[in-house]
Homo-oligomer: A and B are copies of this chain.
Amino acid sequence: MFTVLRCVIYRDLLLATRRWADVLTALVFFVIVVSLFPLGVGPEPNLLRTIAPGVIWVAALLASMLSLTRIFAADYADGTLEQMLLSTAPLGMIVAAKVIAHWLVTGLLVVLIAPLLALQFDLPQQLLATLTLSLLLGTPVLSMIGAIGAALTLGLRGGGALLSLLVLPLYVPVLIIGAGAVDMAAAGLGTEAHFLLLAALLVVAAAFAPWAAAAALRISAE
């Protein structure tokens, strides 16, 4: 069972190295969104500092949502998904493996690069840790939720819009709590409450999302 988990993670990472440009898409997108804002909004430092956590979190959310749209698409098109459905390992496990691999090549990179981009907004040093930690807890939740949406809209042409409609309501709390944590820190206040809530979301998502997505996949692949 865990052989399959390892095999799927390995395979997806391998594919990611072969299609490195595809992997970079999410990251490049994230960098672009964040960097365009100073251009669009104007260079006033105070303004930029205030909107920085919001902009970075929104960009991370968008990057996650966009890259997730296609998490099962390739496997569906070439028939690999059918083989996964017929695997002897539980489908939830396979889905979890795919989500983990996906997060490693997109979410993690976003989390790592976020502090660098934040510097561009002149965000004070001590907030960088808070920002990174909030993203580190939040982005896996986004990946899990997104996987359910992607599974539900699989094969529906232009599932993209539908996917957004389905997952956004569930994304919004993560965004509010995550960006809120940084705002609190910027105001010099404690952030434990926010982090505890993010952790709670992570636990619930990790325990249930793979199974929900697995159920959705069986339905979509009919």
- Measured CB to CB, the residues of A under 8 A from B are 18-25, 27-29, 32-33, 36-37, 39-42, 47, 50-51, 53-55, 57-58, 61-62, 66, 156-162, 164-165, 168, 172, 175-176, 179, 183
Can you name 5 A-B pairs with beta carbons within 8 Å?
A33-B58, A33-B62, A40-B175, A47-B47, A66-B66
Q: Are B47 and A50 in contact (CB under 8 A)?
A: yes
Task: Report the copy number of this chain in the oligomer.
Answer: 2
Interface residue from B21, B41, B53 paired with A40 (Cβ < 8 Å): B53
Q: A28-B165, A62-B33 are in contact. Are A40 and B158 (CB under 8 A)?
A: no
Interface residue from B19, B61, B183 paired with A42 (Cβ < 8 Å): B183
Q: Provide the bound-state CA to CA distance between A144 and B143, in Å.
A: 33
- In this complex, which of A36, A66, A172 has the most chain B Cβ atoms within 10 angstroms of its Cβ? A36
Residues in chain B near residue A37, CB distance under 8 A: 54-55, 58
Residues in chain B near residue A40, CB distance under 8 A: 53-55, 57-58, 175-176, 179
